[in-house]
Amino acid sequence: MPALRVINGTPKPKFNYFRAYSRAFMSHIESAFDKYETISEFDRETLKKFVFTGIKMVNATKRENATEEILIHQFSIYETVKAASSLLTPNELETLFPIEKRYDGASYGAKDYFYTKEAIKKMGEQKQIGENIDDLLWDYRNRDITEFAINGMSIMSAIGRLHGKKGIMESFLEEQGVTTYTLHKDEQGKEYLTNNDTGETSAVKKPRPRYLKAVPNHKGVN
């Protein structure tokens, strides 16, 4: 049986979601503020476009090695998009980000379609979300909305860590007795995980990219 060797194939170029959504977001901002002075004055369609592209952009933003200045800027954008979202009604939000059709949450103690619908019913489907925005973001069963809420918390945690404080999620997990890990990267780009309880460090093993293929190493082929 011939030996196998690994060759480099052609990696597929990755679509730059941040570039796409940030361009769309900035385009909406420029056209909107040609007509309006504040977000609260936006017409409904302009507001919905602003919220949709804003949430998508925040979710596509990378925060690795970001400086405090960049993190504060990112948090300002997050808060602006969240404030704009609070001007929508739950029904309008649902047209942008449909509730996931998962109906078995009660069996697993998880939030599902019915849980979200009940939360919306309590605040009023046709009423402005307003001060209920934070609660709705966490009660809403939709991947984009959940990721948006988590990103807001992650940015705050990252800013806190720059000042020597523990992250929000890290503090919560430690209170629950759950071991947490910190990801580090050396100058060569290799990643390591450090156990925050014991200080032990282990290398992160990544799966081989799909474009690396194993092919037979026939006799006479180096």
Domain boundaries, the chain: 3-179
Q: Please say whether the beta carbons of 82 and 133 come within 8 A.
A: yes
The pLDDT of residue 170: 67
For residue 148, what are the CA distances in angstroms to 10, 81, 187?
33, 10, 31
The residue ranges of the chain whose pLDDT is under 70 are 1-12, 167-185, 192, 206-222
Helix 143-162 / helix 44-60 crossing angle, nearest 10 deg: 60
Please provide the DSSP assignment of 125-194 as one string: TTS--GGGHHHHHHH---HHHHHHHHHHHHHHHHHHHHTTPPPHHHHHHHHTT---EEEEE-TTS-EEEE
CA–CA separation, 124 and 118 (whole Å): 10
The end-to-end CA distance of the chain, in Å, is 16
CA–CA separation, 86 and 102 (whole Å): 25
CA–CA separation, 43 and 69 (whole Å): 32
The pLDDT of residue 194: 72
The pLDDT of residue 11: 63
Q: Please say whether the beta carbons of 179 and 167 come within 8 A.
A: no
The pLDDT of residue 180: 62
The pLDDT of residue 14: 82
pLDDT per position as a tens digit, 2-43: 555 555 556 667 889 999 999 999 998 999 999 999 999 999
Strand partners, 199: none
Q: Please say whether the beta carbons of 120 and 132 come within 8 A.
A: no
